[in-house]
Amino acid sequence: MKKESLKQQTIYVHIDNVINNVVTSGITFCDFMNGVMSPPQNILLLKHQFPDASFNAHTSFHYSEVSDLSELKKAPVSQYGDFCWVDFEEIDLVNQLTAQEVAELLYLAHTGRHLRSPFYYKLQNDFIYLTKDDGRYNKVYYRNLDQFYHVLGYAIWKNMMQMTAEKIILPFMKRKKIADIPTDLLKKFAKYFREGACISFDDAVKTRNQIEVPIGLNLKDDMQELLRSNDLIEYGHVVAHLIYDVKQNEWSVIDG
């Protein structure tokens, strides 16, 4: 049978295991919030354009509490440009941040680089989220990298749902449900993610029984260059394939 090529959004992942930061392309703030195991309850907005945030006089940062986060999820974050935040447990602890700690947060949001550990005892934060173009180039620090693999699993699931969507002709027809991708399976790509790898939905191929999504290494352009352009992400060679069996509703991985 002739194969049908599918054009979708490629996901790029580069993991720094030393400090647990992950650079991605193709994963948005909304993907993050929908996919993360333990969503943040409160976030201190270091750079943003969200109009409904509260103001903290001690740090001169705005913040959003759990009641506001549903609105922030629907906000046009991709149009904000700079969008940087850190989660925290209680506002009383934010009020205990020192001038040095506030300066470190400002530096982190401005440069995308940490001076000391980005995980603050006072804030009890699990994340620091940094982007200048949400979904195109994001850098997120994770206290627990398992959280990232759940976010990645959601982003892959979302892309696969788009690829397998059937045209709804009658109101009672339902779209086929895609199985969640096991995080243990995604961790098999960890060695590639340490180098910087693409999950290339742009080059995915669909047959009657399955969908093959190539995993590519060696980007042809630096991510900083891609941030300044609208070019598609291109890679040098394929090292593995992520396989979805349409009939069995199961995921697998093959090398090469």
Over range 223-229, report the average pLDDT. Answer: 65
Q: Which residue has the higher pLDDT, 171 or 157?
A: 157
pLDDT at 61 (0 to 100): 97
Beta bridge pairs of residue 128: 86, 141
Is 11 in contact with 159 (CB distance < 8 Å)?
A: yes
Over range 39-66, report the average pLDDT. Answer: 93
What CA–CA distances, in Å, run from 148 to 10, 23, 122, 153, 193? Answer: 17, 11, 23, 8, 12
pLDDT at residue 145 tops 90? yes
pLDDT tens figures, 80-96: 889 999 999 999 999 99
Query: Taking the complete model, does pTM exceed 0.85, yes or no?
Result: yes
In the numeric block, which tokens belong to residue 146? 């398992």
Q: Where are the domains of the chain?
A: 4-10+147-255, 20-144
DSSP 200-241: -GGG-EE-SSEEEEEEEEEESS-HHHHHTS-PPP-EEEEEEE
pLDDT at residue 76 tops 90? no
pLDDT at residue 196 tops 50? yes
Q: Which residue has the higher pLDDT, 9 or 190?
A: 190
Please report which confidence band the pLDDT of residue 230 belongs to, taking 50, 70 and 90 as the band edges.
low
